[in-house]
Structure 1
Amino acid sequence: MASSEPPFDLKDFKVERVLSEDPLTHNAAILGSLRLAGGEDRPTIVRVEKAALPSFSPDILDSVKFLGTTDAYSWGLAWLKKSEEGADIKISVICPATEAHIRKVSHAHSNPSLRIQSEGGYKYSAQKIHLVHETPEIYARIVKPYIDAFPPSRTQWVEDILDGRSEVDSVLFRSSPDAPFGFLILPDMKWDGITMSALYLLAITLFKGIRTLRDLTREHIGMLKEIRQRAGQIVKERYGLESTEIRCYVHYQPSYYHFHVHIVNTNYVGLPSMSVGQAHLLDDIISLLELDPPGAPSILQRITLSYGLGDQHGLFVPLKAAQAELTKEDDGDGS
């Protein structure tokens, strides 16, 4: 179980440089160093993001400064009162940070408390996104060997959750041990656990043989439907939301290669990881698999997937080269 007391004092953080910042989503990743208790200064990444605003009332304001007014419109700045119920910013720390963390976010981390960093992938250093097309042939030749080469240590934090070594108290649902394709559901570290408009849960399969949506077949339809059903049940019973108020989706490329489903409030918009191409609605995935005839290769194994890929991603160089091959093939068709 994760400790609430880190082995450092964040006030001692020494800033080196800003790795990335986004004024739209109000978050930034800063590289620097921290001294661990009884040790030396270690490379550290601190990620700060604006916490979700509480329901507005004049009581939450400490002070207001108006900057201008014209006709019916006025604008200004405001400061919130200190509150134990809601923080102003959310902080995530990686210490010690490796070069892989600094240059890019690996597909998983060994520390379960750092789950937020791996969601959506490669968030720390700013990077340029390119649209790539992954045919079944490119998947088999480039992507699958890349996935197969990942050492188990990269998803150790997932194994710790699945085996009950961490975040036990956070689990909202766990399938019975004899379920052929079981899963568990727990809150994602992005969520503060309070703000319903920003609700964010995660369903993770207990079965280790499904790494991405490319591995899904007709035999997994029951599991996917149960994830959808259990998610709706949990948000209604625990959080008072209707099943129509949540959006369930799967990433491709995912940020780590152990199949999981994101469950967020339908009104929670603006997440970069919900962009077209990367996020695939769970309902759509189920519908596609239902079109497959029994015994046939999955449609998810037969289609070309197009998605945005950052130039710091480990797949970027070979997939970019493969795009040139696709262009030559299209030119050769004479179309």
Structure 2
Amino acid sequence: MSSGNLVERFKYIKTLDEDLLEKKIVLLGSIDGENAILTLEKTFFNNITGDNNSNSNITSDIHNYLSEINTIANNDVYTWGTSLSKQDLKVNPGCKFNLIYPATEIHIRKYENSVLHMIKETPEAYNKIVKPYIKTMKGDRIQWVKNILFNGAESDRILFKNNDYIILPDMKWDGKNINSLYCCCIVYDELISSIRDLNKSKINYLEKIRDSILIELPKIYKKFNLKSSNLRLYVHYQPSYYHFHIHVVNVNFLGLANSMISGKAILLDDIIDNLRCMEDSRGYSQKVITYQLKETHKLWELGLKDYVQ
């Protein structure tokens, strides 16, 4: 069954979230009686150029690209207004969609807009609340990750793999605009669920993965003149799923907003350096970690609300 057929059967229930900065809306609906989450996001303008490194097509075809121009106002040298833009599914689509179906309650909690709080998670809070929760989020809940690593799922999208990790475009990236590059590196080590499982023994492992990514991705996107210094590597805590993975983003792309802010993202280089400086060999399992958490997150209900900063 194609994704197009699923989207066409989507029946709207309510809006979970809207982001004016990212020009994105997240909708809760149903498909054949089961919950579904549909995310719609405006695409970039690079597609009208036909070339990520040139704007020649814009300058020559702008009169064909914009239509029904409506001027709102003008003042001296400034004019602003609205218009329609020419759409084409292959060259210049109007928006990108992501669909989660069937969507679980956990999915809904993740995407629903909610009040954020800064949590000061102590080692005791981790062992008492978070660690037991992580165990409930393994198994079938991350089967899709195992499918990618071991069962050949999404094999046509894999950019590079070795014995340590596999890297592929994130579902949030259209795979075309190098300025918005967003890839995900998933490690093969199933014993690492989050940064809490990292200690001094993992320093060489993390450095090896980091160095490999910084070498291989610029090779893959050599035609776009991508350099290692253009890449931002970071990890989330709490992560979306509990199998260790690294986010790899073009440093020039700021459109991910909340995904990259302090209290959510931790630079991989900082993690490595912190491990090197930690006197306790148990590493991040013994560190107080301060981060943002939604009131709708299950961990809030389980007791982390008592650790508000």
TM-score (norm 2): 0.87
**TM-aligned CA deviation for residue 6 of structure 1:** 2.9
> Structure 1 stretch 269-278 or stretch 7-16: which is displaced more?
7-16
* 2:100 matched residue in structure 1: 94
1:129/1:80 CA distance change after superposition, 3 Å? same
CA contact 1:247–1:265 (8 Å) conserved in 2 = yes
2:168 to 162, 186, 191: 186
1:292/1:33 CA distance change after superposition, 3 Å? closer
Query: 2: distance between equivalents of 1:249 and 1:175?
Result: 20
**TM-aligned CA deviation for residue 9 of structure 1:** 5.0
SS of structure 1 residue aligned to 2:22: coil
CA contact 1:210–1:216 (8 Å) conserved in 2 = yes
Query: Once superposed, what is the RMSD of the aligned Cα atoms?
Result: 2.0
SS of structure 2 residue aligned to 1:312: coil
2:156 to 165, 169, 175: 169
SS of structure 2 residue aligned to 1:21: strand
* 1:118 matched residue in structure 2: none
Give the fraction of aligned pairs with identical amino acids, expressed as a percent: 38
**Per-residue displacement from partner, 1:224-283 (whole Å, max 9, x unpaired)?**
112222222233112131111010000011111000000000011132111111100011
* 1:243 matched residue in structure 2: 228
Query: 2: distance between equivalents of 1:300 and 1:165?
Result: 32
1:11 to 4, 8, 13: 8
2:295 to 303, 308, 311: 311
* 2:238 matched residue in structure 1: 253
Query: 1: distance between equivalents of 2:6 and 2:285?
Result: 48
Query: 2: distance between equivalents of 1:148 and 1:9?
Result: 32
Query: 2: distance between equivalents of 1:126 and 1:229?
Result: 36
Query: 2: distance between equivalents of 1:8 and 1:126?
Result: 27
Relative to its length, the structure with more helix (as a share) is 2
**Per-residue displacement from partner, 1:23-46 (whole Å, max 9, x unpaired)?**
1211111122334xxxxx443321
Query: 2: distance between equivalents of 1:230 and 1:33?
Result: 42
Query: 2: distance between equivalents of 1:309 and 1:282?
Result: 21
CA contact 2:200–2:283 (8 Å) conserved in 1 = no
* 1:266 matched residue in structure 2: 251
Query: 1: distance between equivalents of 2:162 and 2:102?
Result: 35
2:41 to 38, 49, 52: 49
Q: Name the count of aligned residue pairs.
A: 290
TM-score (norm 1): 0.81
1:222 to 167, 181, 204: 204
1:196/1:68 CA distance change after superposition, 3 Å? same
Query: 1: distance between equivalents of 2:137 and 2:239?
Result: 13
Query: 2: distance between equivalents of 1:100 and 1:242?
Result: 37
SS of structure 2 residue aligned to 1:315: helix
**TM-aligned CA deviation for residue 51 of structure 1:** 1.5
User: After the TM superposition, which parts of structure 1 deviate over 4 Å for at least 4 consecutive aligned residues?
Assistant: none
Q: Counterpart of 1:165 in structure 2: which amino acid?
A: G
> Structure 1 stretch 60-69 or stretch 253-262: which is displaced more?
60-69
**TM-aligned CA deviation for residue 97 of structure 1:** 3.0
Query: 1: distance between equivalents of 2:9 and 2:245?
Result: 36
Query: 1: distance between equivalents of 2:176 and 2:269?
Result: 27
CA contact 2:24–2:40 (8 Å) conserved in 1 = yes
CA contact 1:289–1:298 (8 Å) conserved in 2 = no
**TM-aligned CA deviation for residue 136 of structure 1:** 1.3
CA contact 1:49–1:90 (8 Å) conserved in 2 = yes
CA contact 2:138–2:242 (8 Å) conserved in 1 = no
CA contact 1:30–1:46 (8 Å) conserved in 2 = yes
Query: 2: distance between equivalents of 1:129 and 1:76?
Result: 35
Q: Counterpart of 1:62 in structure 2: which amino acid?
A: L
Query: 2: distance between equivalents of 1:137 and 1:47?
Result: 37
CA contact 2:41–2:95 (8 Å) conserved in 1 = yes
Q: Counterpart of 1:32 in structure 2: which amino acid?
A: G
Matches within 5 A, 1:1-335: 5-6=2-3, 8-35=5-32, 41-54=33-46, 57-58=58-59, 59=61, 61-63=65-67, 64-83=69-88, 84-102=90-108, 104=109, 122-123=110-111, 125-176=112-163, 182-239=164-221, 240-271=225-256, 272-292=258-278, 296-317=280-301, 318-323=303-308
* 2:52 matched residue in structure 1: none
Segments of structure 1 that go 5 or more residues without pairing to the other structure are 36-40, 105-121, 177-181, 328-335
Q: Counterpart of 1:138 in structure 2: which amino acid?
A: A
CA contact 2:165–2:187 (8 Å) conserved in 1 = yes
